[in-house]
Chains A and B, each alone.
Chain A
């Protein structure tokens, strides 16, 4: 599996993300010779335990996520961030979950956008929207370097690409920047060879970051 970094848009303090930023970012990709290829979509679901009494809910993990990725249409990934657990399952497990009714969907988000090819790099720029809503909650970006699969070996290349990318974005004077937070894959039991489980973990980390940002903005407002 080729190597991928998942970045998210960090708006400057006091500003929020909007679709204008999204279109500027897309133009930026095209300015570094990215060729638009098609659409992509991933779906992330926050689960909450279904318990008879609300008080019991505290005993169960609160950060239980499920994510489906476009490159693995037959798989579904579960992550419990607090306990550093990631699991790859067949996509039919969602049917099982619905039948069990032990965990219900609290919130579901879509990552929706376009895919670009830039030589041996593949970029995806997507907006984060809750299902049944057009409210833009954030922007994510996937940077994939196709020839290598080793997390360590590709690190330098990815860092340099990120520098080039940040430079291109900063020319547009947007209120914010892209951030990459690399989770500690070893804690999740993942090896140096990149897999979709690594991607799932990166998305979970991104979500935690996005939630923290939103909460910070809300607390400032209040």
Chain B
């Protein structure tokens, strides 16, 4: 019978769906959005089914009227109109059905259940936990579906932060290597004591930096207020920009307070919070002072001299592996300098940074090579470690470049690969 057909057709459309893709993960849409869409579509489907039922009633009515005698073409007209709108409704229902299939709400296994649309299916997480109401959790904005996931994410976040802001705490995990290093170097402690008195003469930033400029003539030092540095960092030419680096660098120095002997105004010193150390063509190191105007460094980072962008700051990371490694090592050195003698920390740190001017030329003091394949990261790196324990800044001017490896008091002249350093200690 005709009126029954629409209902049958509708069932058949749902069952005989063409090769549905039962992939529940919609690329690029978050689960809460998927649920919202699915709910909308289900609403649409319900309305369409209601329209179809109404249409079926009208068709019945039209047939009934047509069955009456003395009728004009009116019922036929009515019938045709209703037929057209019914077909449209069925078409719409088919497309909604397809959308629901594609989003995974409707699939083979669910069709057997009469009422379920799949939203209450239990979800099995990768770690094996069975979560009964996965959609609900995701609507609530929880990142991990199960307690195990959430714990794992929290632990990872904690470890990352700890490694970043308290790098020296990791030393305890290395165990034997640090203990033996301490034992080996307790001899030159006496020497350190003598030098510390001299170092305490450098009480202000200008003292420290002037001394540095004198000791290391190839170095370019610049100081900035914090916001000025951000502006400069963003305007630094990146290595993709091939225009002559020499001239553009001059232009960018407008906003910097270049430290010149005798011309430093007291106001500027109080606001200095960023020190830039540049060895042209080798590296650029950024040291941040906190509070501004003090001589207390709080973070340091290394970058390629060709890098540019707003990520160039004392807590940023270079895109190059070699500078990333040095930055990690430098964070530990900084903590060491702050821990052993805070008043001379900046002085020691800056001089220690200067020891990296030989980064691409000085061979490893252990293996004698410049490049070595680091086993952990499978990368070729130059010696990125310079020892910082027992580092004495005043010794730089007097030390010969080719001191023997046995002379422990001249550790500052040594460099190690990542792999070579831990064995040495």
Q: Point out residues on A near B: beta carbons under 8 Å.
A: 1-2, 32-33, 118-121, 146-150, 153-154, 156-157, 160-161, 164, 192-193, 195-196
Contact of A120 among B246, B305, B322 (CB under 8 A): B322
Bound Cα distance from A118 to B378, whole angstroms: 8
Bound Cα distance from A195 to B244, whole angstroms: 9
- Are B380 and A161 in contact (CB-based, < 8 A)? yes
- Are B239 and A156 in contact (CB-based, < 8 A)? no
Q: Is B360 an interface residue (CB 8 A)?
A: yes
Number of A-B residue pairs with CB-CB distance less than 8 Å in the complex they form: 71
Q: Point out residues on B near A: beta carbons under 8 Å.
A: 239, 242, 244-246, 281-282, 304-306, 318, 320-323, 360-361, 369-371, 373, 377-382
Bound Cα distance from A109 to B245, whole angstroms: 33
- Are A148 and B282 in contact (CB-based, < 8 A)? yes
Given known A121-B380, A164-B380, contact A193–B370 (CB-CB < 8 A): no
- The A interface, classified by DSSP as helix, strand, loop or mixed, is loop
Q: Which residues of B contact A154 (CB under 8 A)?
A: 360
* 5 A-B pairs with least C-beta separation: A119-B379, A150-B281, A33-B378, A147-B320, A147-B304
Bound Cα distance from A1 to B304, whole angstroms: 12
Bound Cα distance from A160 to B373, whole angstroms: 12
Bound Cα distance from A3 to B250, whole angstroms: 23
Q: Which residue of A lies closest to B240 (CB)?
A: A1
Bound Cα distance from A146 to B239, whole angstroms: 9
- Are B281 and A119 in contact (CB-based, < 8 A)? no
Given known A119-B377, A147-B323, contact A153–B281 (CB-CB < 8 A): yes
Best-surrounded residue of A2, A118, A120, A164 (most CB of chain B within 10 A) = A120
Given known A33-B373, A153-B360, contact A119–B306 (CB-CB < 8 A): no
Bound Cα distance from A1 to B379, whole angstroms: 22
Bound Cα distance from A160 to B321, whole angstroms: 18
Q: Which residues of A contact B360 (CB under 8 A)?
A: 148, 153-154, 156-157
Contact of B369 among A121, A150, A160 (CB under 8 A): A160
Interface pairs (27), CB distance under 8 Å: A1-B239, A1-B242, A2-B239, A2-B306, A33-B378, A33-B379, A118-B380, A119-B377, A119-B381, A120-B322, A147-B320, A147-B323, A148-B281, A148-B306, A150-B281, A153-B282, A153-B360, A154-B360, A156-B361, A157-B370, A157-B382, A160-B369, A160-B370, A164-B371, A164-B380, A193-B244, A193-B245
Given known A2-B306, A156-B370, A161-B380, contact A149–B322 (CB-CB < 8 A): no
Q: Which residues of B contact A153 (CB under 8 A)?
A: 281-282, 360-361
Given contacts A148-B282, A161-B371, 18 further A-B contacts (CB under 8 A): A1-B242, A32-B373, A119-B381, A146-B239, A147-B304, A148-B304, A149-B239, A149-B305, A153-B281, A153-B282, A154-B360, A156-B360, A160-B369, A160-B370, A192-B281, A193-B244, A193-B246, A196-B242
Bound Cα distance from A77 to B381, whole angstroms: 33
CB distance from B319 to the nearest CB of A (A): 8
Given known A120-B379, A153-B281, A153-B360, contact A160–B320 (CB-CB < 8 A): no
